[in-house]
Structure 1
Amino acid sequence: MREVIATRYVTPLREGGSLPGLVEGDDLGTYIMKFTGAGQGRKTLVAEVICGELGRRLGLRVPELVRMQLDPVIGLSEPDQEVQALLKASGGLNLGMDYLPGSLGFDPLAFEVSAREAGRVVWFDALINNVDRSWRNPNLLVWHGELWLIDHGAAMIWHHNWPTAQKASARPYNASDHALATYGPDVAAAAEEFAPRITEDLLTEIAADVPDEWLDGEPGFDSPDELRGAYVRTLLDRARTVSEHITIGEPTKDRPSQAPEWLAGKLPRRAVK
């Protein structure tokens, strides 16, 4: 990944719990910055890098990710004390995601997705065990008429408890609530396309993009490279069989919907076999 220096803090983005910020870089680009000092911790950034770069290598549309150096002094004019504290806690290396100006949040009533593309996204989310692309919170953008995938910080939930990672990573993936479940995802075609491409060399190359300082000190691992190897093995093992364990059925109804009533009532649901 490229390294960029943040030159101006523009504004906080309050849609997400981690309070990312819109910043400008020394390459004249504009980025969504995700901070090491945010409450979710550095593992969120690790997941963003590994999953985001993996998605890009597979040909999915994920905004470019960059390593972003932050000097907290650039936020001194920000009046919000919460933001000031976040910037002070995040000096040094953070993560930037290319800003897509004019992009819109994905609306299933206004944007059509092919079964092939839906299947590719569902298979990818199953591989990384992404629990945060539901119809309640799609984490999808539409930009220039195309679908873009964002926000993978909640994926790979097994890395929050490595002693149980092997067992947890082998669990089936229920895509019934997935944002693209209603488009008849062709998961079989996606598996045929993607599974052979998930190689040890590919995953090792992607894991190398994660900065050492975000991996240091993980209990049970003697070095960042040893921890990188654990990510590689876990994803490699999961890629071999995950397509056999994806289920899509009726969406759950025991949790309150975050969608407005007019939207929730119109979302069609169908099982995919």
Structure 2
Amino acid sequence: MPYSPPQLRTVQVTRYLTPLREGGSLPAIVEGDDDFLYVQKFRGAGQGARALIAELISGEIARLLGLRIPEIVFTELDPVFSRTEPDEEIQDLLRASVGLNLALHYLSGAITFDPIINTVDPVLASQIVWLDSLTMNVDRTARNTNMLIWHKELWLIDHGASLYLHHTGPDWAKHSQRAFVQIKDHVLLPYASELTTVDTAFGLLLTPDRIRAIVDLVPDVWLADDDAPGPQRDAYIQFLTDRLATSERFVSEAQHAREALV
């Protein structure tokens, strides 16, 4: 079946409501010109545009694989917000983020996933571990699960720490086979007993053409700070397709880490 890549909407931010003081990125709840609330991620935060790129690529891969992700939108941030914000740190962040940013639909009333209270079936746990192994997401631990329960269903959020090798230098994509030892800390690893089955199914869904279609969603302006957009875009495609082509390696790595736990 032909794959139609998502068409991300662009929302104008009309109100800055409240900061979410989590980590160093200072996301915030904002209101858009469509009257919906969003969790705003800022290009001017510590990890820069790369965090937005990781959020977009990993989030839309998760959506393609059938996992629940809040709607991702592009957001336009007007310079006026930095003039009216009294907090100097937030003022600097807003000033550095004028223009095109990224946000996720705010899941009002959602609660944080608690591995002590909430349970996940083995297939879903394996799907999430597989996704995070592919994208090398270091931020799905018991300390910070980055999962929410909303309307009794599990939703994934905050993928800005995935694809972390893109912070290491211009040749980062050549290291697609680097060991991902952090998988041992994944909060769902003890329940991920169906990794081999999931690997087969997801390998059929996530084709190279579909990877390219998702990476093509990344705006040129987010890539321009590093190099010409074309080579940078190709690096993400190369990294993901190379890693996918040898998925048995990261699956085996996750299985061995799981065996050490259970």
Q: Indicate whether 1:228 and 2:233 are aligned.
A: yes
Q: Which runs of 5+ in 2 are unaligned?
A: 1-7
Q: Quick one: which of 63, 67, 72 aligns to 1:65?
A: 72
Q: Which runs of 4+ in 1 moved over 4 A?
A: 248-251
Q: C-alpha displacement at 1:164, in angstroms? A: 4.0
List per-residue Cα deviations over 1:227-272 (Å, max 9, x = no partner).
2122112101101222333335679xxxxxxxxxxxxxxxxx833x
Q: C-alpha displacement at 1:68, in angstroms? A: 0.1
2:4 is matched with which residue?
none
Work out the CA distance in 2 between the residues paired with 1:13 and 1:66. 18
Paired residues in the alignment total 250
Q: Indicate whether 1:11 and 2:2 are aligned.
A: no
Q: Quick one: which of 41, 53, 62 aligns to 1:55?
A: 62
Q: C-alpha displacement at 1:171, in angstroms? A: 2.1
Per the normalisation by structure 2, the TM-score is 0.89
Q: Quick one: which of 103, 108, 119 aligns to 1:101?
A: 108
Aligned alpha-carbon RMSD (Å): 1.8
Identical positions, percent: 46
2:121 is matched with which residue?
114
8 Å CA contact retained: 1:66, 1:95: yes
Q: Which runs of 5+ in 1 are unaligned?
A: 252-268
Query: Per the alignment, do residues 164 and 250 of structure 1 end up closer, same or farther by CA in structure 2, a change over 3 Å counting?
Result: closer
Work out the CA distance in 2 between the residues paired with 1:249 and 1:196. 24
Per the normalisation by structure 1, the TM-score is 0.86
Work out the CA distance in 2 between the residues paired with 1:184 and 1:200. 25
Q: Indicate whether 1:187 and 2:174 are aligned.
A: no
1:209 is matched with which residue?
217
8 Å CA contact retained: 1:176, 1:248: no
List per-residue Cα deviations over 1:1-54 (Å, max 9, x = no partner).
110000111011102320011100011111011111111111111111111111
Q: Indicate whether 1:138 and 2:129 are aligned.
A: no
1 or 2, which has the higher helix percentage? 2
8 Å CA contact retained: 1:10, 1:24: yes
Q: C-alpha displacement at 1:181, in angstroms? A: 1.5
Q: C-alpha displacement at 1:172, in angstroms? A: 3.1
